């Protein structure tokens, strides 16, 4: 049933063509938001838009590489030009190049993970805050970090963990910078979630299910919809006094 916490509001979701980003986009649309999905590839974005429009919602796909300033800013402009405001933004776009120990990590692998996961969040966040602080009703932003980083730092993921720790720190600082402007910024840190990103190299989904049953206190990984529920809470007026928090959704532990 539609609860409509976002009726008439516009929500921008980066990386909205797949995985957690798509689940977040669909969840906002189901609660009445106009949704803008931004990402690098047109086709998956169009699929998300078609799913939303098929359920009677309104959505727009915008091609944007968040690690490029002009493209991150253009996504915000497109949202405002099409729907009139930017009320919510979710910076979800990210890349994981795990597996190698630090000594075997290429400079390119390091730079890519920092470029997309940190600089991409910074550029998108800055463009979003610049828009929201001029709006009478401000806005709410949720950045997607990870349990890798501030909460745990497993082997084979040093660069990704460094990037995600930076997302949490950047968000906490920005939250204090801009709550006075009416812009509320928070973080969701997912643990292992049901997308290909949580599969080890060569692992099948059934292997992962067995690994989760043996390792995680809850006995299973999170569904993308469960991460979306946490994002919607933080973006909603239910969380009006929650500022700069980092909400972990991880089935009780690390996979």
Residues taking part in catalysis: 160
DSSP-assigned letters across all residues of the chain: ----TTTT-EEEEETTTSHHHHHHHHHHHHTT-EEEEEES-HHHHHHHHHHHHHTT--EEEEE--TTSHHHHHHHHHHHHHHHS---EEEE-------SS-GGG--HHHHHHHHIIIIIHHHHHHHHHHHHHTTSTT-EEEEEE--SBTTTB--TT-HHHHHHHHHHHHHHHHHHHHHGGGTEEEEEEEE-SBSSGGGSPTT--HHHHHHHHHHH-TTSS-B-HHHHHHHHHHHHSGGGTT--S-EEEESTTS--
127 lies in the binding site for ligand NAD (CB under 6 A):
no
Residue choice 11, 39, 76, 185 for contact with ligand NAD (CB under 6 A)? 39
21 lies in the binding site for ligand NAD (CB under 6 A):
yes
- Taking CB under 6 A as the criterion, which residues in 190-229 touch ligand NAD? 190, 192-193, 195, 197-198
Total of residues contacting ligand NAD (CB under 6 A):
27
- Nearer residue to ligand NAD within complex by CB, 156 or 241: 156
Closest contact distance (angstroms) between CB of 20 and ligand NAD is 4
- Taking CB under 6 A as the criterion, which residues in 48-67 touch ligand NAD? 65-67
Residue choice 116, 132, 183, 234 for contact with ligand NAD (CB under 6 A)? 116
17 lies in the binding site for ligand NAD (CB under 6 A):
yes
Closest contact distance (angstroms) between CB of 221 and ligand NAD is 7
96 lies in the binding site for ligand NAD (CB under 6 A):
yes
Contact residues for ligand NAD, defined by CB under 6 A: 14-15, 17-21, 39-40, 65-67, 92-96, 116, 120, 144, 146, 190, 192-193, 195, 197-198
């Amino acid at each position: 049933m539609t609860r409509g916490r976002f009726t008439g509001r516009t929500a921008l979701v980066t990386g909205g063509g797949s995985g957690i980003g798509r689940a977040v986009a669909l969840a906002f649309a189901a609660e009445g938001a106009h949704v803008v999905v931004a990402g690098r590839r047109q086709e998956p974005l169009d699929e998300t838009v078609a799913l939303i429009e098929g359920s009677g919602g309104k959505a727009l796909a915008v091609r944007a590489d968040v690690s490029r300033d002009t493209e991150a800013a253009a996504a915000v402009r497109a949202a405002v030009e099409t729907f009139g405001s930017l009320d919510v933004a979710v910076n979800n776009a990210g890349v994981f190049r795990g597996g190698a120990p630090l000594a075997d990590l290429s400079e390119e692998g390091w730079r890519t993970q920092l470029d997309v996961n940190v600089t991409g969040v910074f550029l998108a966040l800055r463009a979003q805050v610049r828009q929201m602080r001029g709006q009478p009703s401000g806005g709410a932003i949720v950045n997607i970090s990870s349990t890798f980083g501030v909460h745990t730092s497993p082997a084979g993921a040093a660069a990704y963990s460094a990037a995600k720790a930076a997302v949490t720190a950047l968000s906490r600082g920005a939250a204090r910078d801009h709550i006075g402007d009416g812009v509320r910024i928070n973080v969701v840190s997912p643990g292992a979630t049901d997308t290909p990103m949580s599969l080890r190299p060569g692992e099948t989904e059934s292997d992962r299910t067995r690994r989760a049953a043996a390792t995680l206190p809850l006995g299973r990984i999170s569904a993308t919809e469960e991460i979306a529920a946490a994002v919607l809470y933080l973006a909603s007026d239910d969380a009006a006094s929650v500022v700069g928090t980092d909400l972990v959704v991880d089935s009780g532990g690390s996979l």
